[in-house]
Structure formats: C-alpha cells, structure tokens
Chain A
Amino acid sequence: MSHADLPATVETLRRLREDPHRLGHGAHDRSAPAQGVGHGVTGPASKRIIVGYGFWLFLLSDIVLFSCFFATFAVQRHATAGGPGPHDVVELPRVALETGVLLLSSYTCGLSFAATNAKSVLWTQVFLLITGLLGLAFVGLELQEFVSLAARGITPQRSGFLTAFFGLVGCHGLHVTLAGLWLLTMMAQVQVKGFRPEIIHRLICFNLFWHALDIVWIGIFTIVYLMGGLA
C-alpha cells in the first residue's frame, strides 16, 4: 500500500520496515560495512597527480590531432598530381641527424627532471638549456630542409601529397617550436621562483610534452621518411 502524499523518504523507511530483506536493492544496509568499489576511496588526489593526469589527457588529444595528419598523409600518399613523389622529398642523412638530435634532447630533458628531483637548480637549468638548444637545432634542420625543397619547386601548393607531407611534418615542427617557447618560459620561472610546487608540476608537464613530441617523431621518420624512401 502506498501513501501518495508522503515524501519518498518516509515511504522508503516504512517499506524498509515491511521488507527488511531489501528484495530489489541492497545498497543502503547500514549494518553492512562500507564497501568501496573501484579506486578513489580516499578522496581527491594530490595536486601533483591532478595536474600530471590532466596534462596526460591533453597529450592524448594532441596525439589524436597528429593521427588525423597521419591518416591524411596515408590517404594522399599517391596523390602526387604528376609532381614529385615520396622518393623525391626524402634526404636520409638529414633525417638521421634530426632524429639523433631530437632523441638526445629527449634524453637531456629526462636528465633535467632527474636534477629537479634532486633539487638542483643549476643542473636543471643546464639540462633544460641543452634540451632547448638541441630542439633549436632540430627546428633549424627542418627549416633548412623546407627551404631547400622549396628551392626545387617542391611546395605544398604543388599537390595533395606535398600538402599532406608539409602539413604533417610542419605540424610537428610547430609543436617543437612552441615547446621551445614554453621551455624558455619555464627556465625563467625556475630561475625566479625556484622549485615551488606549481613550478615542479609544470616541469613534469613539460617533460611529458617533450617526450611525446619525440614519440610522434618516431612515427614521422618511420612512415614519412623511411617508408617513403623505400617507394
């Protein structure tokens, strides 16, 4: 029997009394111990984890962005419109140099965070500076490549394939450039503010970003350059 004028709270208590075994739903048995299912039983995470995780998600979205450029490259690979093909744009020695430079920068970036962990401003700055210089070298090499290609009439306006090529590689180069700007800002912050919590959180994020860019480059040098050179 039901009393439509009573609030559901009151009605539920009455039903509880009439149906002590809670046939139907067993969630609020107060005698049973609280059972947590899943993670997070201890409340909100620390700021370090929250910031790191949020940035991790941003990286995933950035990787998805790159995946669109990769997919377009895969689709447009043969759309050369009678112009230069993959074989004509690949210069393996330069690519090898770029790869080496970026890998080394990833390594020094990792070391910079080891120094941060050890609370050494000096070594953090030194390794960040090396990372930045290597990044600069990478961007410089890439610009040089684009200029030399353009001198041979190989520009994105030429064909769908070249558009996809310049778009993918250029998007990565743009990311490295912006990361360099961030790196400079971070160095200034470390110098002025020291290792305050929020600065360390930003260094964690910067590290993740730099390594992620190197991971994207692995995809680029394999799919665009090495496999392009095969064709």
Chain B
Amino acid sequence: MSGLEFDPDAYTGELDQRGDLAPGDEPRESAGHWVRNSNLGLGFSMVLTIAAFVLAQTHLIYGPAIPVALIVLAIAQMGVHLVFFLHVTTGPDNTNNVLALAFGILVVFLIVAGSVWIMNSLQHNMMPMDQLIQLQP
C-alpha cells in the first residue's frame, strides 16, 4: 500500500501556531501513523468485542458480575475508539477537544443517571400506570 505514505503537502491550512488540532487530526509529525493506529484500534476492539460476547454466554465468572464486566468492556472499547480512531490525546493541542468531550460525557451522565434515578424512585413510590388505570371504574 505505497499509496498510503504520508504526504506533508496534503495538509490543508497550516497547523495552528497556538498548538491546536482539529478533532480526529494528528500533529503533522505523527500523521504517518494513521495506518498503524487503525491497525492497533482494530486489534484492541476485536479483542474487547469478542471478550464481551464470550462473557455474555458463558458462566466463567460470577453471574451478577457479568453486567458490570460488560459495561467495563464497553467503556474500554469506547476509549480504544477515541484514542486510536479519533486520535484524542491528553496533549495541549487537544485541550479544547477533550474539554468538549468531557462536557458531553457530563451531560450524557446527568441525563441518563438523572432519568433513571427519578423514574425508578417514581415507580417505587407509585402504582404502575396500568394498575392505576384498572383501579378506575
């Protein structure tokens, strides 16, 4: 695949002097690592996916721990995608991107956790809707 070698001229727009990167971009000097990064990402993801599917169908580990393990595997794989496919790093050139990502994760957490907490509490306190309906004459 000689067509995949890095060509510095392909970069549109100069990399910003203030040390900033577009999301998904890599700094100029490491942009040749796209293919390697993709390979690594694919490898890790395959391992994690297979682990998740196997875990869900076997009794290798303590039953109630399986959902927790599945969620951990999913979060790990999301991390793999972010790092190897989306090239999110901890570097200063990624500060804005990571901050936006953190904000998004916070919002998702608030909405999902908040909704589940609120609705579970409601269900715990109130009679389910279909029974409530049946009460009516």
Contact = CB atoms under 8 A, between A and B. Distances in A.
A211 B86 contact: yes
B111 A67 contact: yes
Interface in A191-224: 195, 197, 200-201, 204, 207-208, 211, 214-215, 218-219, 221-223
Contacts of B53: 92, 96, 99, 226
B8 to A, nearest CB: 9
Q: Is the interface of B mostly helix, strand, loop or mixed?
A: helix
A123 B85 CA distance: 18
B102 to A, nearest CB: 10
Contacts of A87: none
Interface residues of A, number: 65
Interface of B: 1, 3-7, 9-18, 20-25, 31, 34-35, 37-38, 41-42, 45-46, 49, 52-53, 56-57, 66-67, 70-71, 73-74, 77-78, 81-82, 85-86, 95-97, 100-101, 103-104, 107-108, 111-112, 115-116, 119-120, 130
Given A47-B13, A214-B81, 16 more contacts: A39-B96, A53-B100, A56-B24, A60-B100, A67-B108, A68-B111, A74-B112, A107-B42, A111-B35, A118-B5, A123-B1, A208-B23, A215-B81, A219-B78, A223-B74, A226-B52
30 contacts: A41-B18, A46-B14, A52-B25, A53-B22, A53-B96, A53-B100, A56-B97, A57-B100, A60-B101, A60-B104, A64-B104, A71-B111, A72-B115, A74-B116, A99-B53, A103-B45, A110-B37, A114-B4, A118-B10, A123-B3, A195-B10, A204-B22, A208-B23, A208-B86, A211-B86, A215-B78, A222-B74, A226-B52, A226-B70, A229-B56
